Each structure stands twice: as structure tokens, then as C-alpha cells.
Amino acid sequence: MKPEESLQELIGRIGLDAAELRERLRLLDWRHDDPPRLQQAADEASDAHQAFVDRLYEHLGHFPGPAALLSDPAGVTRLKHSQLDYYQRLWRGPYDRDYVLGRLRIGLIHQLAGVEPKWYLAGYRLYLDALHGALFAEHPRAALFASLLKAVFFDMTLAIDTYGAAQRRALEDSEARFARALRGANDGLWDWHLEHDRLYVSERWADMLELSRDALGEGCAAWFSRVHPDDLPGLRQAIDAHLGGRTALLHHEYRMRRRRGDYLWVLARGVVELDPQGQRRMAGSQTDISARKAVEQQLKHAARHDPLTGLANRLRLDELLQQTLQQLAKPGARQAALLFVDLDRFKLINDSLGHQSGDQVLVEVGRRLQQCLRPGDHLIRFGGDEFVVLLTDLASMGDAEQVAQRMLDGLHHPLHLGENTLVVSASIGVAGLRASADTAEALQAADLALYRAKQAGKAQFARYSQELQAAARRQLELESALGQALERDEFVLHYQPICQVDAGVPRLVGVEALLRWRHDGELIAPQEFIPSLEESGEILRVGDWVLREACRQVRAWQLAGQTRLRCAVNLSSRQLQQDDFVARLTDILMDSGLPPASLVLEITESQLMRDCTATLIALRELGSLGVRLALDDFGTGYSSLGYLKRFPLHILKVDKSFIDGADTESRAISRAIIGLGRSLGLEVVAEGVERDEQLDFLQHEDCRLAQGYWFSRPQPAAELQRLFGGDAGEDGLWRLLPADTTTHSRRENHR
């Protein structure tokens, strides 16, 4: 601060305005005749002044403090001169503003030089003593007055010291409190004079960075050069925002480099203010927030990783995928791929060895998969037994397939779990990433490829393709159209004859109703849509419709003369599981008028496996209604012969795969099933008869009933009648017409 500025500041601090000055003079009882009185006697005092100044300096010279300041003779001469000037002014006035300023200025200089107030007062006391002596030398009580002066001035030094000391103590107390608070807050302080670029930082500020305050430079470079390069732009923006008035406070977290080169997370808080000169100063604190940041980091890590395998989880995958897709959009980017890995039959491991073993398998699988990756690739546990691999920077998709193959090979090695040795396998879907895709699409593509790999027999990888996508889309479209098929009357039944073949010309004993869906001008086969109907539960309503329609049609044929015609209808397991199935069926039979004995319900082995007791009860009830039961596709499932005894079955249908097989094993199995049926008292129907020799074989084996393309493909009701003789024979059954009399000859039906 310049001297003139300090003086102004001092006047402000003392509060020396005109009123204060007036009051001071009044307190001293200063009257209008005081100045002229002094002025007139000024000359008279001048000799005394001369003598006194010498004496004063001589007296002070006896004390170590003043003596140290008065060691330079030239300086002492200058001081004596200005002292004399001062006494002149003291007597002559004028006692104006200039006078006051002069006194304050001298006071400031003396204070700076180290002149203590007690020396001041001693000087004045000596001065008054000297002048008293000069003016009233002959007065008899001059010595007394001098003694009084000494006593009074002694008291004055005590009073001034008391005030001073008390003020100093208050100041020290507040400073100590401030210092304690600072230590307690553990924060560093900074004060930045922007216009002059002067940065003051506290000891603690520097300490946090393991630096000493003296080693730091003066300007803000000492601060900014230590900010982490990634964080610097953000800090500058935050400061600009505050300086620009856009934020009420600077509040910013960033990293600072410590002496050893590592980084410390700090929080800087601050405000800008204008100083009395209108210049900007920003000041605030710096807090060490590294502990909090570490906890935050741990939480962030925990939220993004799977606790079992330590691998990244779906949340992290989402972030990684977004980053990768952004990078792919940049020019010159190499390819990236996503692998969806799903363990085959993992549920079996969990169910048979327990979840703990299952967990161990997952950890080991994660480890093996990780070994197949390069640094920069990512392995994610997607959930359960599903893993996702993100491969970046690939030259071609062939590389991704190689990784997939490596993973399959790596998993194939036996895995030892305590006493157990397992071999796990996985199916993998491989999909290339397109920059234009979003994360959900990318995952969906890999998932679709995975589905394909599973369908193709597991323990392999499949690559995503447009065709896969198209097939999936068609499936989806079909499924949504399927929901409305019943209302739109798009279902139709075709009927396939079941013929008696043991007595010369085959005769029609029954028909199997087979469901078709007319959609978009196509006739869709049941395998394509029945699984979705079963999944959605819609099979219940559709199944009811099939039963009702088949019973109605067959009853109509019965009334037209085919009195003994049987109606076979396929059932889905979900239909059998309905509590009121028997009641509904009874309704349908009553409505159609079809005798229960004319109805055959076809069920498969897998249906029998499910929920045995409930199924058994339902089947018994059906049996007691008089309805007959056929076991469809016999031989293709678990073929537990126990079922044949346990369930109330009437008919076995030999699956067409055995009839079709020309090899000796197939024939042996067919022969065995026919024999088994006969000995258990069950009727046997051979399915899928297409060729003469198959029919010859069946006839040779005494199999009474057969169905297949040799007789007829499944046909709409109206067409079927034309294959058979219009009149029922003597046994009430239609005979198959000779080939040349039918429009659709049998030969044409052959594949």
C-alpha cells in the first residue's frame, strides 16, 4: 500500500472526521484565545526549544531502545531539525487539517521505525518540564509542578499501555480462534488477486500437495499448472462462470498433482469480491476429498461389477457398448463384435450339484473365457449363465469367429469340482456391431444368433445374418397375426383317413383331424404355430374349437351313413391340465351328438410325463365317459413301458419314423410295438404309410389299422368323401375306391 493510501486508511480507522476533531478540542477546553496566546510567545520559547532538543536526545540516548535508533550522527542532526520545526509549528499553528495530517504522518513513520509510545510520552513530559523551567524558572513551586508532571505522565503511559494491550489481546484471541478453526477445518485457503495475478495460499493448501508454500510461485500458475490436464478445462469453465455472474459460488471438484506426481481429489470453493479499489479478488478454500472420492469409486465399481465373478455387469456393458458404437462412427474405425455366450444345460448342474457348485462353475467359466481375450476386449456377466463379450478393433468378423471357437475349445476341457468332473459346453451368438445400431439392437442381434446356435444343437457358435433377422421377424409377425386367427375364422381342419387294412380293400374306420391356419393366402402347418399357441395359452380356445368342429363334422358323416366312423383329435398338454376339461368335452359331445365312443383323443408321451397324478385323474375321467385314448408318436419319446400299464390307454400309434425306416432295426421296432399292443390288448395304428411294401409289411405283421399318404393326405372335409365309395358297405364303412375312379388317385399322393 502506498504511504498516502495508508494515511487515508488510518484516518478512516480512527474515525477522525471534522466532528471528532471538534470534540477533541472541546474536551481539551481549547478556546479561541489559545492560538494567539501561543503565537505571541513563540519567539520567547525558541531558545528554550534549542536547548531542550539537545537535552532530549541526550536523555533518550541513555536507554537501549532509543539509543539503537539514534546511532547515526547525521540522522540525529536531521531529526533534531525536524523536531525544532515541529515545536515552531506547535506554538504558531495553524491547527488545521494540514497540521493533523502532519502529526499522523509522523506518528506512522515513528511506529514503523519502532518508536514506542512510552518514549513519546517521556519526550513530551521532558518538553513540558523544560518549558515550564524556562517560563517560570523563579517560581518557588516549579519543582513541585515538575514532580506532578512526572506522576501524571507515568499514569498516562500506563493507561495507553492498558488500552493497547487489551486491544492486542482481543486481536490475538480472534486470530488464534481463526487459526484453530482453520486447523480444525483442515482446509487450505487461497486468495487470488486477479488484476495483479497474485495468489496467496495458506500453509495447509500447499501441505495437501506435499509442497512448501515458499516453493510455490506467486501467480495463479502455481495453482493451474498442478491441475490434472483432463480437469483443467472444467475448472476454468467453473471459474469463468462464477466471474461472469452465472454462479453464486465457485464449487468445483478436480484433481491436483502432488509433489510425488500422484493426484489428489480436491474441492475448491470460493467467491469473487471487489476490493475498495474496485479490483477483483477471489478467495476461498480447498478441501481434500480423496477419501470420499475413493468411496464413490468403490460404489461405482460395485454397481458395475458382478460380485461372484468380479466381471463387469450389464450396467457396465451398456456404457461400454455406447462408447464402442460412438468410436465405430469415427472415420477409419476398425470393426467390433458382440458375442453372446450361454452355457448349455447349466440348470442341470445347479439342480444336481447345488448352487454352490453352480457358482464355482460360473467363476471358472468366466476365467476360461477371459483367457481367450486380448487386452482391450471386455467380458461381461450378463446374468445367470449368460456372458457377453465385446471385441473391438477387429480386422474382420473372421477374427470374432476365431475367438468364439477358442472359447468353445477352452470350455471343453474337463472341470474338476471336488469329487466331480464335469464337461461344460456353451452356445455362442456372434454379431458384428454397426455404428448405426443402438445398444439394444446390438444385443438383440447377438441373442438371435445365440438362439440359432442353440437350435442347431448347442455347443457351437452361429453368426448373425440378415436371413436370421428376417426369419425372426416373420415369426414375430406370425405370432401377432395368430392372436386374431380364431376371430377371423382363419383356422381349418383337414382330415386324414385311418384305414382298416387286414381285410382286402382298405376301409375307412376313422379320420384324424389336423389343424391348418389359412394366413395371407398360405396354408400354414401346425408345427409352425402350435408352439406359440401353447406358449400364449391361446391353444385352449383353439383346442376347444378343433374339438367342436371335428365332432360336428364326423357326426355329420355318421348321419350321412358312416355310422361307425371314428374321430381322432390331437390334444395339447395344456388342454388336459384344465380343471374343467372333462366338463367342457362333455358339453361338446352333447352339442354335436357324437357318441363318446366315436371320439379318440391323441396325446403324446411327454404329456404323460408332466404332472402324472393330475393327468392320470383326467384320463380316468375321460375313460369313464367312454372316450378312447391314443398314445401318439409312440417310440419317439421316453417310451417308458410303465405308462402303458399305468394309464387307461386304448390305442398305440407307431410313429412314422419307424414305418418309414427301411432298415432292419426300424422294422424290428415296428414289429415289437405291434406285438406289444396286441399282447396288452391295445389297438395299433401305423402312421405315415406311403409305399406298397410298407403296407405289405403291416399286413404281414397283422397290424389292423394304418394311415398315411398311401391312402390319402390330410384333406378338407369336402374333398375327402370323393376318395371313398359313396355307399357304406355291409359293415357300415366306406371302402377305398379303386385308383382310376378317384379324381385324386393314391399314386398321385405318393411323394
Residue 570 binds Mg ion (CB under 5 A): yes
Applying CB under 5 A, among 306, 538, 602, 683 the residue interacting with Mg ion is 602
User: Closest CB to Mg ion among 444 and 570?
Assistant: 570
Residue 632 binds ligand C2E (CB under 6 A): yes
Residue 633 binds Mg ion (CB under 5 A): yes
User: Closest CB to Mg ion among 538 and 602?
Assistant: 602
CA 167, CA 161: separation in Å to the nearest integer? Answer: 10
Residue 575 binds Mg ion (CB under 5 A): no
Residue 633 binds ligand C2E (CB under 6 A): yes
CA distances from 18 to 31, 77, 96, 97, 696 (A): 17, 35, 10, 9, 140
Pattern of binders to Mg ion over 656-695, x per CB under 5 A?
Answer: -------------------------------x--------
Applying CB under 6 A, among 116, 441, 479, 690 the residue interacting with ligand C2E is 690
CB 486 within 8 A of CB 542: yes
**Of 193, 211, 333, which is closest to residue 270 (Cα–Cα)?**
193
Q: Which three cell numbers stand for residue 641?
A: 413301458
Residue 526 binds ligand C2E (CB under 6 A): yes
Furthest C-alpha separation in the chain: 181
Query: Residue 541 burial by CB count (10 A; 0-12/13-18/19+): exposed, middle or buried?
Result: exposed
Among 26-34, 358-366, 480-488, 682-690, the segment contacting ligand C2E (CB under 6 A) = 682-690
Q: How far is the CB of 689 from ligand C2E (least distance, A)?
A: 6
* Residue 131 CB contacts under 8 Å (≥ 6 apart), including other chains: 45, 48, 52
Among 24-32, 124-132, 289-297, 525-533, the segment contacting ligand C2E (CB under 6 A) = 525-533
CB count, 10 Å around CB of 308? 12
Q: Nearest 10 degrees: CA dihedral of 14, 18, 19, 22?
A: 100
- In the chain, count of helices (H) and strands (E)? 31, 23
CA 14, CA 175: separation in Å to the nearest integer? Answer: 21
282 binds, among ligand C2E, Mg ion, none (CB under 5 to 8 A by kind): none
CB 338 within 8 A of CB 431: yes
Residue 599 binds ligand C2E (CB under 6 A): no
CB 281 within 8 A of CB 273: yes
Strands 420-422 and 415-417: antiparallel
Residue 377 binds Mg ion (CB under 5 A): no
Range 491-510, binding ligand C2E (CB under 6 A): 496
Among 108-116, 498-506, 571-579, 633-641, the segment contacting Mg ion (CB under 5 A) = 633-641
CB 337 within 8 A of CB 391: yes
Applying CB under 5 A, among 632, 635, 703, 724 the residue interacting with Mg ion is 632
CB 390 within 8 A of CB 380: yes
Applying CB under 6 A, among 49, 252, 656, 704 the residue interacting with ligand C2E is 656
Question: What letter does residue 595 receive in the DSSP assignment?
Answer: -
User: Closest CB to ligand C2E among 121 and 546?
Assistant: 546
Applying CB under 6 A, among 311, 338, 443, 546 the residue interacting with ligand C2E is 546
CA 386, CA 340: separation in Å to the nearest integer? Answer: 7
Among 151-159, 410-418, 451-459, 521-529, the segment contacting ligand C2E (CB under 6 A) = 521-529
Residue 306 binds Mg ion (CB under 5 A): no
Residue 662 binds ligand C2E (CB under 6 A): no
Binding-site ranges for Mg ion (CB under 5 A)? 570, 602, 632-633, 687
Binding-site ranges for ligand C2E (CB under 6 A)? 496, 514-515, 525-527, 530, 546, 570-572, 602, 632-633, 656, 688-690, 707-709, 714
